[in-house]
């Protein structure tokens, strides 16, 4: 479902993340919820020892450790000591990318390191480690938003070496996006969404359109719909037509795909998404909406009403998708949420979006 932006930090924090981090939280949770619980327990034990021995592992040490074997599963779960540590190492790289301002040379180096690790030192059998590293690879060349100019990016200096690195990273992500493993395809496709504002991102559009239209797995289709919003432009008619077709899907079991497609069309300022977006910004509508719950009981999935947390997530992500949507009714709905929504988290997000639009 249209989920959080766009990162894994949403729960417990009212601060709206800056664009352009696009992947849906619902999809991220599907990839990582179980290993996050495992890693959380492990970190709770390991962090105090880290303090005693010199603090958090450096990015170079994490990269080197990821080249070592030890990520095999035990009993179908990622629970082996080596696998736990590799998960933490992969998470260290994600944290480094989000906290540090990498130079061009550092981006080139890290991009090549991650490609090498993904191709030679991880497998789909590790599952979550590989998936996190794919998301990290997608963020190596993520453009940084300009805080003074909403909707624009900071100006970058570029070089032939940087262009070559971006080409290698994109080629690697496209290869993994065609993996036979569903979770690998999903992670690689979500990683492509971080290429918003990059000319090289246009190379991914045909693959994303194909995945949205033809992939047999709903989660992969949802990932492709989510990534097309940030990557496509109003001139990408094939992407717009594919998203429109997905938004008109009448199968109630695929309602989350409808929502994701509408959010991407709103990012492309397409008027046909207005009615769906207005429903996603209306609590009364959300109270009656159902989705096909494939997670609670995987053997017996069924239609479920949305929980309060899911309603908040949908409201926030619909607002993020529509923050520059030129439909007056939608902007009025966002302002109304800022004034009177029952959730402080939703109100805070709505106020920040409204303030950005007024600048």
Q: What is the pLDDT of residue 151?
A: 77
pLDDT tens by residue, 160-215? 999 999 999 999 999 999 999 999 999 999 999 999 999 999 999 999 999 999 99
- Any domain includes 299: yes
How many structural domains compose the chain? 1
Give the CATH number for residue 150: 1.25.10.10
Token pair of 353, please? Answer: 């979006």
Q: What is the pLDDT of residue 50?
A: 42
User: What crossing angle do the helices spanning 255-267 and 237-247 adopt, rounded to 10°?
Assistant: 140
Q: What is the pLDDT of residue 70?
A: 64
- Any domain includes 14: no
Q: What is the pLDDT of residue 1?
A: 42
Contact (CB, 8 A) for 242 and 277: no
Q: What is the pLDDT of residue 298?
A: 86
pLDDT tens by residue, 6-19? 333 323 333 333 33
- Any domain includes 4: no
- Any domain includes 274: yes
Q: What is the pLDDT of residue 356?
A: 79
Give the residues of the chain that fall short of pLDDT 70: 1-57, 70-82, 127, 358-359
- Any domain includes 199: yes
- Any domain includes 35: yes
CA 237, 260, 145: angle at the middle one, nearest 5? 80
- Any domain includes 20: no
- Any domain includes 173: yes
Q: Which domain, by its residues, includes 167?
A: 25-358
């Amino acid at each position: 479902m249209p989920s959080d932006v766009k990162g894994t930090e949403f729960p417990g924090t009212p601060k709206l993340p800056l664009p352009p981090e696009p992947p849906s939280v619902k999809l991220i949770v599907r990839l990582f919820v179980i290993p996050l619980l495992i890693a959380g327990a492990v970190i709770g034990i390991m962090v105090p020892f880290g303090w005693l021995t010199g603090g958090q592992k450096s990015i170079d040490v994490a990269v080197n450790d990821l080249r070592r074997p030890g990520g095999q599963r035990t009993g179908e779960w990622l629970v082996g000591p080596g696998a736990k540590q590799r998960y933490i190492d992969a998470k260290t790289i994600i944290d480094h990318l989000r906290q540090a301002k990498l130079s061009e040379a550092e981006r080139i180096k890290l991009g090549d390191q991650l490609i090498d690790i993904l191709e030679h030192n991880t497998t789909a059998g590790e599952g979550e480690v590989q998936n996190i590293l794919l998301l990290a690879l997608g963020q190596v060349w993520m453009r940084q938003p300009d805080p003074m100019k909403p909707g624009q990016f900071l100006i970058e200096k570029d070089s032939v070496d940087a262009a070559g690195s971006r080409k290698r990273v994109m080629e690697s992500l496209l290869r993994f996006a065609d993996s036979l493993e569903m979770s690998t395809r999903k992670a690689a496709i979500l990683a492509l969404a971080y290429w918003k504002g990059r000319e090289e991102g246009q190379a991914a559009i045909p693959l994303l359109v194909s995945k949205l239209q033809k992939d047999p797995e709903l989660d992969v289709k949802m990932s492709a719909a989510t990534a097309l919003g940030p990557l496509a432009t109003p001139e990408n008619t094939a992407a717009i037509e594919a998203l429109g077709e997905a938004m008109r899907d009448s199968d109630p079991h695929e309602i989350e795909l409808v929502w994701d497609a509408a959010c991407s069309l709103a990012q492309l300022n397409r008027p046909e998404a207005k009615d769906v977006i207005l429903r996603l910004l209306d609590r009364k509508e959300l109270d009656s909406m159902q989705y096909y719950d494939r997670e609670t009981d995987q053997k017996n999935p069924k239609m479920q009403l949305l929980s309060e947390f899911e309603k908040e997530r949908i409201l926030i992500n619909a607002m993020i998708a529509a923050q520059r949507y030129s439909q007056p009714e939608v902007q009025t709905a966002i302002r109304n949420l800022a004034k009177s929504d029952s959730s402080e988290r939703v109100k805070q997000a709505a106020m920040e979006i409204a303030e950005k639009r007024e600048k």
